[in-house]
Amino acid sequence: MKKLIPLLLFLIALPSWAQQFDVEVIVFKRTVNPEQTVESWPDVLPKIDLENAGNLSDSDFRAQKGVQILPSSSYQLNGSVDKLNQHAGFKVLLHTAWRQNGKGRLSAPALHIQAGKDFSSSYNSDGTLKGSIQGTELLDGVSETSIPVPLYELDGKIQIYVDHYLYADVQMDVRAPSVREIVLQVPLKLESNQENDAAVQSGFMAEVEPTIQKQELLKSFRIIQKRRMKSSETHYLDHPLMGIIIQVRRV
């Protein structure tokens, strides 16, 4: 019995990094036209900082950060996925799960998430349509070509970490084809009259209607949320165009 007491004290005093969590995530998009919502969406967004993030499919990154991909047989949110798939207003883009250590924000793995359709065959990395003047540099009739960069429908990062409490930090973009209107600047047309300059200023200025051009582009819509969580509870992050369901279970 005396030998067991030090062992029990050691187990009680184990640091937080010894804890492990199973993280299960569902990301879905709403099948609505973003331009018909009441929200105002910017045409261009700054890129999400992925410098310290690693892809969940990268085995070297997983080994370095102590991350283990869980099999689908361990999923516990299949019922939520079934309900979403049965609803015409939703489209599930991602359902995955992994195991990680309960580390702090500076040490916990930040996972780069990519899923859904790859738009890189039709759009440039800046979202412009391939073959358009805006998206291709032309010099003496020669177009500049570049290696296509994957443009997934869902792209961003998620980090689960422990800082006294359990937190989920999410930055994700959902991409969708859209159309923006560009007003072309047209100079005013003046009808010259050398005999009467005053008449030129008052009555000879021709009205020119502005030219509006529609440009197709791949637009990004972003969700940024940081949520304090409780283990084994299901948490929902809401956005007008997408939703994220997260469950963190203590191992």
Q: What is the domain partition of the chain in residue ranges?
A: 17-177+220-250
Gap between the Cα atoms of 26 and 21, Å rounded: 16
The pLDDT tens digits for 83-103 are 999 999 999 999 999 999 999
Tokens representing 196 are: 């009467």
The pLDDT tens digits for 190-201 are 555 555 555 445
What pLDDT does residue 231 have? 92
59 phi/psi in degrees, rounded to 5: -65, -35
Q: Please list, residue by residue across 99-134, b when 16 or more beta carbons sit within 10 angstroms of its beta carbon and e when fewer do.
A: bbbbbeeeebbbbbbbbbebbbeebbeebbbeeeee
| DSSP of 80-100 | HHHHHHTSTTEEEEEEEEEEE
The pLDDT tens digits for 144-186 are 556 678 999 999 999 999 999 999 999 999 999 988 766 666 5
Name the band, by pLDDT with cuts 50, 70 and 90, for residue 39. confident
